[in-house]
Amino acid sequence: MEYQGISNWEGLLDPLDDTLRREILRYGEFVEAAYRAFDFNPESETFATCKHPQSSLLTRSGIRETGYRLTRHLRATCGVQLPLWMDRMPSWMSTQSSWIGYVAVCQDKKEISRLGRRDIVIALRGTATCLEWIENLRASLTGLHGDVEQDDVPMVQSGFLSLYTSRTSTSPSLQDAIKEEIARIIRTYGDEPLSITLTGHSLGAALAKLAAYDIRTTFDNAPMVTVVSFGGPRVGNINFRCRLEDSGTKILRIVNSDDLVTKVPGFVLENSGLPKNKAVQVTGFPSWFQKSVEDMRWVYADVGQELRLSSRMSPYHSKGNMATCHELRTYLQLVNCFVSSACPFKATATSLLNFHYPENSLL
């Protein structure tokens, strides 16, 4: 449970504990499977769907034996109202609902014994469709529960919340699908020690935080909930951060200092553990600017424990561009090589990765 974050990974991040390194990479494989299983081809009739059946997704995605079995596919839906002229555009440009990941439950007795519990994984990919990009750009904060009048209201990025809660006549929302599946799993295995690990990259990391909050606040009997976030953007304000922390959700936020996505949207609060009733301060800006961004609902707060890496410090990625700095592949290779802040990278890194990345595995 220490590696699951029960003590907020105290003493395990700097230097990076080798067992924790392997666990991070293991969860990264689940996200990689979500990318590989997604149909990126806009000319395909199955664009934005899963290419593989539930029973063989992990093996057909080239991921080594995990001991986990998929129990549900997950979809995300864009809530933006499209103009009528979009009907004349290619269908891939207006794909409203798309496959975004899956739920998997550990079934292997040896793996359950190694972990000391039955682990449930929710793996979510990053941005892949035009409408998901549009939702990403909706950077203003909105009330998590609709109410924005009170000072202590948790607020989150509008586009992320839209993708999480929107539904169609044929597809439930990502929120409902996750809650339904977790309720079913708890009913099935509730007499066993359980853990829920949500892992995602980029957009998937943001949605994982929303889902983690939902699980912890919806189920009275919820097991331990952990988020392993790769290259995730900011999600909410300081009240959202406080609610997440109060709920007992554990978040490991893996950040590449050279990745622009981890620095957006909005403006971040000083990350010094502010009291809940203290006025926030926007780092490095005068008071008039602070008031402006507050009025526009652009004041965010980082959340969770941070494992900070840097492409520039790596001999293998120092010449990477903005896109490569954000790739999941880069994150996993940086984790594989990282030692500590005093000695950033191993001279020779033991290969822990068995990946063969497709060219379209980007964001």
- Rounded to whole angstroms, the Cα distance separating 188 from 240 reads 31
The full length of the chain comes to 363
| Annotated active-site residue in 73, 201, 317, 326 | 326
- Write phi, then psi, for 203 (nearest 5 degrees): -55, -40
Closest CA to 35 of 249, 272, 202: 202
Q: Which residues contact 211 (CB under 8 A, 6 or more apart)?
A: 122, 164, 174, 175, 178, 198
Question: Which of these is catalytic: 166, 202, 311, 314?
Answer: 202
The two tokens of residue 103 are 């739920």
Catalytic residue status for 202: yes
**Quick check: 232 and 212 in contact, CB under 8 A?**
no
What is the SS3 assignment for 186? helix
Q: Is 326 among the residues known to form the active site?
A: yes
Catalytically annotated residue among 259, 302, 310, 361: 259
User: Which strand ranges, in their side-by-side order, compose the sheet holding 305-309?
Assistant: 68-77, 97-106, 118-124, 194-201, 224-230, 250-256, 305-309
> How far apart are the C-alpha atoms of 289 and 292, rounded to whole Å?
5
The residues with which 251 forms a beta bridge, in sequence order, are: 227
Q: Is 247 a catalytic residue?
A: no
Q: Which residues are catalytic?
A: 202, 259, 326
